[in-house]
C-alpha cells in the first residue's frame, strides 16, 4: 500500500508539471528498490489525474462537448467546433505513432540513462523556448497548422523522461503561445491522449489480465490519490505561470538528469 500511495503522490505532482510523470514513475521504484509497478499501474495513475483535468477545466470540457455536437451536425464554423477540431488535429499524430510503436518503446526505452538524457535535453529546450517565445496567441487563436505541430511534438513524449506536458508546452512557446495558454492547451490535450491509453489499461484490469483483486484495489486507491493531488498540482501551475516562467522546471530537469547519470 505504501508503494501505491507514494507513486500516486509522485504522479499527481508530476503529471501536469513539465518534468515527466512517466519518467518519475519508472525511477522511484528503482531508487527505493521496489519492483517496477508495470504499465498498468502507470496508466491507472494517469487516469486518476485525467479526472482532475476534467474537473478543473470543466468549462472547456463543456465547450468541447458542444463542439462535438456541432461537428456531428456538420456545423464547423462555431468556436466550439473549431476548438474540438484543433484538439483532434493535435491528437492524431500521437495516436498513430503510439499505436505503431507502443510495444517497442515500452520494452526498450525505460532505462534510467534514457530518462537522464531526455530530462536534460528537453529541459534545456524548454528553457530556450520559454525565453524566446512571445505571448501573442491563445488556444482560440491557434491555427490548425500550429495545433498539428504541437501534436507532432507530443509524439516524443512516448519516450519516458521527455514529458508530455513539457514537450507540448515547449512547442506552444516556440509558436508564441502565452505561458498560461500553453499550459491550458497541454492539459486539454491530455484528455483524449491519456484517456485512450487509460482505456486500454482499464480494459486489461477488468478482463483480469492486469493482476489480482488486491492489485485492483491498489489501483483504485492510487487513482483516487492521483486525482486529488492532480487538482492541487494544476491549481499551483496555473497560478505560478501568471507571474513566473518555466525556468525553475527546466533547472529541475537538468539537475535530475545529472543526478541520474551519477547514480546509474
Answer yes or no: is pLDDT of 210 > 70.
no
Contact criterion met (CB below 8 Å) for 115 and 252: no
222-251: b (≥16 Cβ within 10 Å) or e: bbebbbbbbbebbeebbebbeeeebeebbe
Alpha-carbon dihedral 12, 227, 194, 172, rounded to 10 degrees: -60
Range ranked top by mean pLDDT from 4-8, 10-14, 94-98: 94-98
Contact criterion met (CB below 8 Å) for 44 and 222: yes
Return d(Cα 94, Cα 102) in angstroms, integer.
10
pLDDT at 66: 97
pLDDT at 212: 47
DSSP 16-68: TTTT-HHHHHHHHHHHTTPPP-HHHHHHHHHHHHHHHHHHHTHHHHHHHHHHH
Return d(Cα 101, Cα 109) in angstroms, integer.
11
pLDDT at 119: 93
Answer yes or no: is pLDDT of 250 > 90.
yes
For the record, the C-alpha cell of 187 comes out as 492539459
CB atoms within 10 A of CB 79: 12
- pLDDT digit string (tens) for 49-68? 889 999 999 999 999 999 99
Contact criterion met (CB below 8 Å) for 102 and 160: no
Among 19-28, 31-40, 80-89, where is mean pLDDT lowest?
Answer: 31-40
For the record, the C-alpha cell of 156 comes out as 516524443
Please count the CA atoms within 13 angstroms of the CA of 214 that sit on its side-chain side. Answer: 1
Percent helix, strand and coil across the chain, each to the nearest 5: 80, 0, 20
Answer yes or no: is pLDDT of 209 > 60.
no
- pLDDT digit string (tens) for 130-175? 999 999 999 999 999 999 999 999 999 989 889 999 999 999 999 9
Answer yes or no: is pLDDT of 243 > 70.
yes
99-110: b (≥16 Cβ within 10 Å) or e: eeeeeeeeeebb
Percent pLDDT > 70 in the chain is 89
Q: How far lies 44's CA from each of 8, 210, 215, 221, 224, in Å?
A: 9, 11, 11, 10, 10
Q: Report DSSP state, residue 175.
A: T
Amino acid at each position: 500500500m505504501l508503494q501505491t500511495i507514494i507513486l500516486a503522490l509522485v504522479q499527481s505532482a508530476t503529471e501536469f508539471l513539465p518534468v515527466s510523470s512517466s519518467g518519475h514513475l519508472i525511477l522511484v521504484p528503482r531508487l527505493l528498490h521496489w519492483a517496477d509497478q508495470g504499465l498498468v499501474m502507470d496508466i491507472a495513475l494517469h487516469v486518476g489525474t485525467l479526472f482532475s483535468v476534467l474537473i478543473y477545466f470543466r468549462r472547456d470540457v463543456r465547450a468541447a462537448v458542444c463542439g462535438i455536437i456541432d461537428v456531428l451536425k456538420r456545423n464547423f464554423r462555431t468556436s466550439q467546433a473549431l476548438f474540438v477540431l484543433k484538439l483532434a488535429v493535435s491528437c492524431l499524430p500521437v495516436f498513430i505513432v503510439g499505436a505503431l510503436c507502443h510495444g517497442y518503446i515500452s520494452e526498450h526505452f525505460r532505462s534510467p540513462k534514457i530518462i537522464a538524457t531526455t530530462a536534460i535535453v528537453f529541459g534545456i529546450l524548454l528553457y530556450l523556448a520559454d525565453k524566446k517565445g512571445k505571448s501573442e496567441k491563445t488556444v482560440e487563436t491557434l491555427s490548425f497548422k500550429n495545433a498539428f505541430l504541437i501534436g507532432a511534438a507530443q509524439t516524443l513524449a512516448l519516450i519516458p523522461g521527455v514529458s508530455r506536458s513539457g514537450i507540448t508546452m515547449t512547442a506552444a512557446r516556440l509558436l508564441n503561445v502565452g505561458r498560461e495558454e500553453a499550459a491550458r492547451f497541454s492539459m486539454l490535450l491530455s484528455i483524449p491522449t491519456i484517456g485512450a491509453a487509460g482505456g486500454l489499461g482499464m480494459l486489461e484490469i477488468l478482463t483480469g489480465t492486469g493482476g489480482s483483486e488486491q492489485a485492483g484495489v491498489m489501483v483504485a486507491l492510487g487513482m483516487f490519490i492521483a486525482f486529488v493531488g492532480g487538482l492541487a498540482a494544476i491549481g499551483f501551475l496555473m497560478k505560478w505561470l501568471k507571474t513566473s516562467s518555466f525556468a525553475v522546471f527546466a533547472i529541475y530537469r537538468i539537475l535530475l538528469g545529472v543526478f541520474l547519470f551519477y547514480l546509474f
